[in-house]
């Protein structure tokens, strides 16, 4: 088999979901909602099912989907995005990230990844023939040392991966942090591949800034995102990448041969979501703000230590006090004995950090309450 397979493991996030299901635990591991998408969206899908869009869409995305997306993202990103030349619609941001990496990297290239990181990035880098170099986001604040970043970038790096708001840390990069990164990627002529799937899940006063919107950065940025988290449709697998035309030309070529394209009927139905007005996004932010409050208050009552997330829907909890061999042992024990599943933090970190576990709170309030009741049993 391909030797690259030995360089990464299966997804621990998805493995934890399988174990959680086996033991009927409340699953706060793999981050996806247990509530429905907006009713209009379900209706739109029903209408599409009865219609005639059941064959391939244009490989880089149906025209009306790209138009609606360009309009929405131009508005939020403050950039004028051309739906004809600057977008590729993909099978989730998972494919967007993979295609982005394959578009810019040749075998032997180096890619900078902030650690902790969403586990796909290392596998994406390796599969595209590149070697990841890690730069630490140091818990509990998850800040980085600009000198460490510069040292990494000096090693002839092709691209930097930026997940903002961050999975798993919940960090939202500040303007000054993004400016530091911008200065350095400019100095060392490095592409930036963003993962901004939590762009609309940010807790005030924190604010999410699109990296591509920083002065001069659009030219070197591939902005990847998806509809999964924003519209609670993780199973629809609709994502996209936005970049300047010359990058997009390459990305379209890669994407065409990877998947031909994202599901045409789902793109058609999702146009309804892309046309939602601003109020939808304000409500979404409020909804997650309430869930964060409920879950963190519960953790406070139980007496657990954590880093307060600034965005996304994850929280990293410190388990040092429990005296387990490591976070994986803790998570397995918690599934079986407490009935709650989380992801061992070590699956996100490069290096020896084993005292954190990641819970997600994209669940109905009743699910979160049930999980908290169970967590009260922690010794
Ligand atoms: N992004 C989500 C998480 O980190 C879901 C990952 C997945 O399985 N695609 O849990």
| CATH number reported for the structural domain that contains residue 20 in this entry | 3.90.1150.10
Q: What is the pLDDT of residue 379?
A: 84
Question: Domain check: are 171 and 91 in the same one?
Answer: yes
- Which is the closest atom of ligand 1 to the Cα of 118? 4
pLDDT for residue 173: 98
pLDDT of residue 246: 96
Question: Structural domain tally of the chain?
Answer: 2
71 and 127: one domain?
yes
- By alpha-carbon position, which residue is closest to atom 4 of ligand 1? 31
Ligand 1 neighbour 13 (Cβ under 6 A): yes
Distance CA 204, CA 24 (A): 35
The residue segments making up the domain with residue 305 are 3-37+279-375
User: Whole-angstrom Cα distance, residue 198 to residue 230?
Assistant: 7
Note the Cα 318 to chain centre separation in Å. Answer: 22
- Clarify whether residues 261 and 360 are in a common domain: no
Q: What is the pLDDT of residue 240?
A: 98
* One domain for residues 257 and 158: yes
Could you tell me what percent of the chain has a pLDDT over 70?
100
Domain boundary among 277, 304, 325: 277
Co-location of 231 and 146 in the same domain: yes
- Same structural domain, 208 and 131: yes
For the chain, percent helix, then strand, then coil, each to nearest 5? Answer: 45, 15, 40
Kindly report, residue by residue over 29-48, the tens digit of the pLDDT.
999 999 999 999 999 999 99
> What pLDDT is stored for residue 83 in this prediction?
98
Series of mean pLDDT values for 10-residue runs along the chain (379 residues): 89 93 96 96 98 98 98 98 98 98 96 96 93 96 98 97 98 98 98 98 98 98 98 98 98 97 98 98 98 98 97 98 95 97 96 95 98 94
Strands (E), the chain: 26-27, 87-91, 110-115, 131-136, 157-163, 191-195, 221-226, 238-242, 305-307, 314-318, 340-341, 343-344, 356-360
Q: What is the pTM of this model?
A: 0.97
Q: How many angstroms is it from 234 CA to the middle of ligand 1? A: 9
Ligand 1 site, residue 31, Cβ cutoff 6 A: yes
Q: Are residues 286 and 272 in the same domain?
A: no
Give the C-alpha separation, 336 to 24, whole Å: 9
CB 343 within 8 A of CB 16: yes
* Domain end marker among 255, 277, 299: 277
**209 and 154 within one domain:** yes
Q: Which of 258, 277, 296 is the last residue of a domain?
A: 277
């Amino acid at each position: 088999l391909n030797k690259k397979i030995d360089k990464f493991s299966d997804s621990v996030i998805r493995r934890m979901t399988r174990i959680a299901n086996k033991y009927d635990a409340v699953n706060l591991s793999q981050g996806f909602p247990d509530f429905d998408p907006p009713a209009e969206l379900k209706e739109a899908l029903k209408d599409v099912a009865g219609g005639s869009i059941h064959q391939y869409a244009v490989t880089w995305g149906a025209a009306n989907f790209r138009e609606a997306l360009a309009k929405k993202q131009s508005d939020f990103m403050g950039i004028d995005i051309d739906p004809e030349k600057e977008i590729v619609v993909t099978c989730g941001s998972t494919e967007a990230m993979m295609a982005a990496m394959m578009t810019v990297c040749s075998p032997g290239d180096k890619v900078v990844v902030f650690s902790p990181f969403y586990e796909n990035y290392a596998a994406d880098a390796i599969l595209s023939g590149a070697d990841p170099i890690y730069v630490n986001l140091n818990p509990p604040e998850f800040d980085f040392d600009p000198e460490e970043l510069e040292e990494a970038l000096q090693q002839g790096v092709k691209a930097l991966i930026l997940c903002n708001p961050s999975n798993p840390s919940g960090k939202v990069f500040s303007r000054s942090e993004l400016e530091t990164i911008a200065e350095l990627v400019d100095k060392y002529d490095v592409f930036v591949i963003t993962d901004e799937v939590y762009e609309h899940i940010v807790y005030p006063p924190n604010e999410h800034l699109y990296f591509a919107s920083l002065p001069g950065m659009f030219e070197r940025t591939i902005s990847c995102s998806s509809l999964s988290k924003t519209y609670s449709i993780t199973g629809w697998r609709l994502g996209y990448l936005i970049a300047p035309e010359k990058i997009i030309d390459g990305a379209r070529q890669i994407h065409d041969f990877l998947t031909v394209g994202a599901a045409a009927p789902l793109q058609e139905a999702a146009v309804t979501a892309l046309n939602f007005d601003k109020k939808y996004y304000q409500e979404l932010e409020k909804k997650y703000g309430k869930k964060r409050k409920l879950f963190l208050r519960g953790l406070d009552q139980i007496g657990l230590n954590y880093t307060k997330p600034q965005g996304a829907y994850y929280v990293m909890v410190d388990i040092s006090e429990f005296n387990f061999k490591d976070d994986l042992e803790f998570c397995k024990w918690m599934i079986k004995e407490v009935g709650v599943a989380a992801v061992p933090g070590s699956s996100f970190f490069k290096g020896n950090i084993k005292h954190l576990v990641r819970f997600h709170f994209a669940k109905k309030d009743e699910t979160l309450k049930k999980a908290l009741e169970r967590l009260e049993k922690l010794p």
